[in-house]
Chains A and B, each alone.
Chain A
Amino acid sequence: MSGIATRLYKGDAGLNIVGRRNLWFGIAGGAILVAILSFVLSGFHLGIEFAGGNQFTVPARAGSIEQVEQAFKDNGAVTTTPQKVGGDVYQVKTAALSVDEANQLQRQIEAKFGLASDEVSTSAVSPAWGEQVTESAVLGLVIFIAVVAVYLVLRFEWRMAVAAIASLVLDLILTAGVYSMTGFEVTPSTVIGFLTILGFALYDVVVVFDKIQENTRGITASGTQTYAEAANLAVNQTLMRSINTGLVALLPVGGLLFIGAGLMKAGTLKDLSLVLFVGMAFAVISSIFFATPILVALKAQEPRIKAHAQRVLSRRAAIARGEEVPGSRRARTPAKTAASAATEAPAGPPAAPPKPGTRPASKNRRPGGGKRR
Chain B
Amino acid sequence: MAPPSDGQMRPGRQLAVLSGLLVLLYVMVMFVGTSGMGWAERFAPRLGLDLVGGQRLTLEAQPLPNGQPPNAKQMAEARDIIHQRVDARGVAEAEIVVEGDRNIVISRAGKGQNLGADIGEAAQLRFRKVLNVTDGNDTSATPVPTPSASASATPKPATTPPARPQATSSPGAAAPAPAAPGTASPAPAAPSAAAARPGQKPMPELLADAKRKVGPAAWAAAEALKTPDTGKNAALKPFASLTEEEVSALPFMIQFNVPQVTCEKLDKRRQGSISGENVRAVACEGSQKYLLDIAKVLGGDVATASPQVAQTGQRVVSLEFTDEGADKWSKLTSEAYNNSGPEETKCPQQVLGNDGHCLVAVVLDNKIISAPEIQGVLGEQSQIDGNFTAESAGELASQLRYGALPVTFEVPDAQTISASLGSEHLKAGLLAAGIGMLLVIIYSFFYYRLLGGVIFLSLVLSGLLIFGALVVLGREIQFTLTLAGIAGFIVSLGVAADSFVIYFERLKDEIRDGRSPRSAVPRAWARARRTIISANAITIMAAVVLYLVSVGTVKGFAFALGLATVLDLVVVFLFRHPIMTMFARTKAFLSPRVSGLGRVLQRDDAVKEA
Residue positions of A touching B, CB distance < 8 A: 2, 6, 9-11, 49, 57, 59, 86-87, 89, 97-104, 106, 117-126, 128-129, 132-133, 136-137, 139-140, 143-144, 147-148, 151, 155, 188-189, 192, 195-196, 198-200, 202-203, 206-207, 210, 214, 237-238, 240-241, 244-245, 247-256, 258-260, 263-264, 267-269, 272-273, 276, 280, 359, 362, 364-366, 369-370, 372-373
Residue positions of B touching A, CB distance < 8 A: 50, 53, 57-58, 60, 100, 102-103, 111, 114-118, 197-200, 410-421, 424-425, 428-429, 431-440, 443-444, 447, 483-484, 487, 490-491, 493-495, 497-498, 501-502, 505, 508-509, 512-514, 527, 530-531, 534-535, 537-539, 541-543, 545-546, 548-554, 557, 561, 599-600, 603-604, 607-608, 610
Interface centre among B418, B434, B502 (most CB of A within 10 A): B418
**Which chain B residue shows the least CB distance to A249?**
B494
**Do B550 and A203 touch across chains, with their CB atoms under 8 A apart?**
no
**Do A119 and B513 touch across chains, with their CB atoms under 8 A apart?**
no
**Do A207 and B432 touch across chains, with their CB atoms under 8 A apart?**
no
CB contacts (< 8 Å) of A126 on chain B: these are 410-413
**Do A100 and B509 touch across chains, with their CB atoms under 8 A apart?**
no
Min CB distance B517 to A, Å, is 14
What's the A-B contact tally at a CB cutoff of 8 Å? 293
- A interface SS class: helix
A195–B552 CA distance with the chains assembled, in angstroms: 14
A125–B438 CA distance with the chains assembled, in angstroms: 36
**Do A206 and B550 touch across chains, with their CB atoms under 8 A apart?**
no
Min CB distance A353 to B, Å, is 12
**Do A203 and B498 touch across chains, with their CB atoms under 8 A apart?**
yes
Min CB distance B606 to A, Å, is 9
**Do A139 and B549 touch across chains, with their CB atoms under 8 A apart?**
yes
**Which chain A residue shows the least CB distance to B114?**
A103
CB contacts (< 8 Å) of B527 on chain A: these are 214
Which of B53, B483, B530 touches A118 (beta carbons < 8 Å)?
Answer: B53
**Do B513 and A269 touch across chains, with their CB atoms under 8 A apart?**
no
**Do A86 and B428 touch across chains, with their CB atoms under 8 A apart?**
yes
Known: A198-B542, A202-B542. 7 other contacts (CB 8 A): A49-B413, A136-B554, A144-B546, A192-B550, A248-B444, A256-B490, A264-B428
Which of A57, A247, A272, A370 touches B607 (beta carbons < 8 Å)?
Answer: A370
**Do B435 and A258 touch across chains, with their CB atoms under 8 A apart?**
yes
Q: List 22 A-B contacts (CB under 8 A).
A: A11-B512, A57-B421, A89-B424, A99-B199, A103-B416, A129-B552, A189-B553, A192-B484, A195-B542, A196-B561, A206-B538, A237-B509, A248-B501, A251-B436, A251-B494, A255-B439, A258-B432, A259-B435, A268-B484, A268-B487, A372-B607, A373-B607
**Do A118 and B111 touch across chains, with their CB atoms under 8 A apart?**
yes
**Do A203 and B538 touch across chains, with their CB atoms under 8 A apart?**
yes
A93–B473 CA distance with the chains assembled, in angstroms: 36
**Which chain A residue shows the least CB distance to B58?**
A129
**Which chain A residue shows the least CB distance to B119?**
A99
CB contacts (< 8 Å) of B548 on chain A: these are 140, 143
A124–B58 CA distance with the chains assembled, in angstroms: 10
A258–B512 CA distance with the chains assembled, in angstroms: 38
**Which chain A residue shows the least CB distance to B415?**
A123
**Do A98 and B514 touch across chains, with their CB atoms under 8 A apart?**
no
**Do A199 and B541 touch across chains, with their CB atoms under 8 A apart?**
yes
A102–B117 CA distance with the chains assembled, in angstroms: 10
**Do B514 and A248 touch across chains, with their CB atoms under 8 A apart?**
no
**Which chain B residue shows the least CB distance to A103?**
B114
Given the contacts A100-B197, A118-B419, A122-B416, A128 and B60 also touching, CB distance less than 8 Å: yes
**Which chain B residue shows the least CB distance to A248?**
B497
**Do B57 and A151 touch across chains, with their CB atoms under 8 A apart?**
no
Given the contacts A195-B542, A259-B431, A251 and B414 also touching, CB distance less than 8 Å: no
A102–B539 CA distance with the chains assembled, in angstroms: 39
Min CB distance B282 to A, Å, is 25
Given the contacts A11-B509, A97-B199, A250-B494, A155 and B546 also touching, CB distance less than 8 Å: no
CB contacts (< 8 Å) of A249 on chain B: these are 491, 494-495, 497-498
